[in-house]
Amino acid sequence: MTGIFVLNAPDASLNGILQALRQSLQRHPRRLATGLAVLLLGTGVTAFGVAPLVPDVPTIPVRQIVEAAQPVELPQIEAQTSALDDFQFNLFRSDSTRSSDSADSLLKRLGIDDPQAGAFLRSNADARLILSGRPGKMVIAEATDDQELLKLVMRWPTDDAQFFKRLVIERQPHSSPGAIALGASAAFTARIESAPYSASARLASGTIQSSLFAAIDDARLPESIGVQIAEIFSGDIDFRRALRKGDRFNVVYETLEADGEPLRAGRVLSAEFVNNGKTHQAMWFQPLGNDSSTGMAFKGGYFGLDGQSLRRGYLSAPLEFSRVSSGFSMRMHPILRTWRAHLGTDFAAASGTPARTVGDGTVSFAGVQGGYGNVVFVQHRNGHETVYAHLSQINVTPGQAVSQGQTIGLVGQTGWATGPHLHFEFRVNGVHQDPMTMAQQSQTVPVPSAQLPAFRKLASGIRDQLQAAASLTQSRME
């Protein structure tokens, strides 16, 4: 006889069912065993159903919870609309000045319709700096949504490599001290500030197709970077005669930024130039401490990555990189019309271009001399002498000590000259020599031995930088 077991499990969970089953086993162990035997035997001849052990859903009691909801107080529609009407936003826009600009045309391009602002730009001396001088100045304007000027800022570089200038024009309340009132309720002020640059490093590379400066333009580099590259390697490479198509360069240089705006190029930090298959490398290094021979602080300069200075006893040219109009060779004299030796080098340059001494020395003559016109003679060591002729202005006097790179006069066309240029000579014991040859043969100075550990550590990082710059060329080719 089978028994019916009722599992009284008020909790429909699995734990409740198992607890009820455990209690039934304890109360009726034999009846349960008999019932299971019958159940197993019966499965051979008949089917059976298994009822779920959880309560039927309709039998589960339902409890209804009622809770009062508090209404949220929303602002009045009129208040929201009023707030939107009163909301104002400012607009920012930048543009570069043009040679044809007037105050009104510049403001119009900046999206500003403000007669008071235009009148101020025309009347204020500082504000007129925006349109004076060379065009291309970057101007940034802040205006209201009604196109009224709030603020105008212009930045520009100066001769100081550490600081830039900033012109700030602002709309001020009529009561502001120093304001120039241009309307019933508003005025503008202008001020000029000085601020320091922030420097960041950039990588670039290029390949020579025709000339160095054509490659500089193709690489979108500032011209000053090309001048520095030519200066750095001028003792080893004749950039006027020795360049080959396919020569290439890699460079890491500073960009000087004014309030985040790139304003000018700074110093070349490292460079690599491959000329006719030969690689030349350079890096800027500033030794620490003082030179024991002079007691003065060491001068920074460019060194090869092997520690040899690239600063030689003589510069290769008395001008920053310039086109040579007549070299050290035979030529037809432009005035005498006779075939004769040209015992110097002529550098084509505009009148007023600074002429510099190629080495340390003493001025032995400064004045007018025959076909040379205005001329300066500088005496150097070991019977060396340099000559700078056809100057429009002389900036030194006889007996004055001069240092390498110092400006001694300005390019002109005095004396026997058919156009503005600098005639330059290099003499050794009175005998004329090729200036480029003398520059390449002049001595160099290595890194002080005490500074070598710091130099080698820096040089290791420089190699990685130049390799990264070289990869730019490879990326463009691919």
pLDDT in tens, the chain (478 residues): 444 444 444 444 555 555 655 665 566 555 555 554 444 444 444 444 444 555 666 677 777 787 777 665 555 666 666 666 666 678 889 999 999 999 999 999 999 999 989 999 999 999 999 999 888 889 999 998 888 899 999 999 888 888 999 999 999 865 343 344 444 335 899 999 999 999 999 999 999 999 998 999 999 999 999 989 998 998 888 887 889 999 999 999 999 999 888 889 999 999 999 999 999 999 999 877 766 665 666 678 899 998 888 888 888 889 876 544 443 343 444 444 444 445 788 888 889 999 999 999 999 999 999 999 999 999 999 999 999 999 999 999 999 999 998 999 999 999 988 889 999 999 999 998 888 788 877 777 678 788 888 899 999 999 999 999 888 765 555 5
CATH number for the 324-442 domain, one of 3.20.20.70, 3.30.830.10, 2.70.70.10, 3.40.50.300? 2.70.70.10
Q: What CATH number labels 199-312?
A: 3.10.450.350
Residue type, 279: T
Report the pLDDT value the prediction gives residue 27, as an integer from 0 to 100. Answer: 61
Phi, psi of 430 (to 5 degrees): 85, -5
Q: How many CB atoms lie within 10 A of CB 234?
A: 20
Residues in the chain: 478
Angle between helices 14-27 and 29-42 (to 10 degrees): 110
The alpha carbon torsion through 11, 14, 15, 18 (nearest 10 deg) reads 100
Using CA atoms, how far apart are residues 217 and 380, in angstroms rounded to an integer?
A: 38
CA atoms within 13 A of residue 290's CA, in its CB half-sphere: 5
pTM recorded for the entire structure: 0.63
Report the pLDDT value the prediction gives residue 26, as an integer from 0 to 100. Answer: 60
The beta-strand segments (E) located in 286-383 are 301-303, 308-312, 324-326, 329-332, 339-342, 345-348, 354-356, 361-368, 374-379
Report the pLDDT value the prediction gives residue 3, as an integer from 0 to 100. Answer: 44
Report the pLDDT value the prediction gives residue 339, as an integer from 0 to 100. Answer: 42
Using CA atoms, how far apart are residues 183 and 93, in angstroms rounded to an integer?
A: 24
Residue with tokens 């120093």: 178
Residue with tokens 């503005």: 420
Report the pLDDT value the prediction gives residue 185, as an integer from 0 to 100. Answer: 38
Give the sheet arrangement for strand 261-275, strand by strand. 198-207, 248-258, 261-275, 278-285, 301-303, 308-312, 444-446
Using CA atoms, how far apart are residues 358 and 84, in angstroms rounded to an integer?
A: 70
The beta-strand segments (E) located in 111-260 are 138-144, 149-157, 163-172, 180-181, 187-196, 198-207, 248-258
Three-state secondary structure call for residue 121: helix
Using CA atoms, how far apart are residues 253 and 266, in angstroms rounded to an integer?
A: 7
Report the pLDDT value the prediction gives residue 129, as an integer from 0 to 100. Answer: 92
Per DSSP bridges, beta strands 421-428 and 431-433 are antiparallel
Structure tokens at 109: 């391009």
Which residues are registered as beta bridge partners of 188? 171, 180
Residue 35, CA distances (Å) to 5, 42, 54 in order: 10, 11, 21
Q: How many CB atoms lie within 10 A of CB 355?
A: 25
Structure tokens at 71: 């209404």
Q: How many CB atoms lie within 10 A of CB 247?
A: 21
Q: Are the C-beta atoms of residues 153 and 161 closer than 8 Å to each other? A: no
Using CA atoms, how far apart are residues 280 and 313, in angstroms rounded to an integer?
A: 19
Report the pLDDT value the prediction gives residue 15, as an integer from 0 to 100. Answer: 58
Q: CATH 3.10.450.350 in the chain, residues? A: 89-196, 199-312
Using CA atoms, how far apart are residues 429 and 451, in angstroms rounded to an integer?
A: 37
Q: What CATH number labels 89-196?
A: 3.10.450.350
Handedness of CA 218, 223, 225, 227 (dihedral sign): positive
Report the pLDDT value the prediction gives residue 336, as an integer from 0 to 100. Answer: 42
Report the pLDDT value the prediction gives residue 91, as an integer from 0 to 100. Answer: 86
Using CA atoms, how far apart are residues 319 and 402, in angstroms rounded to an integer?
A: 16
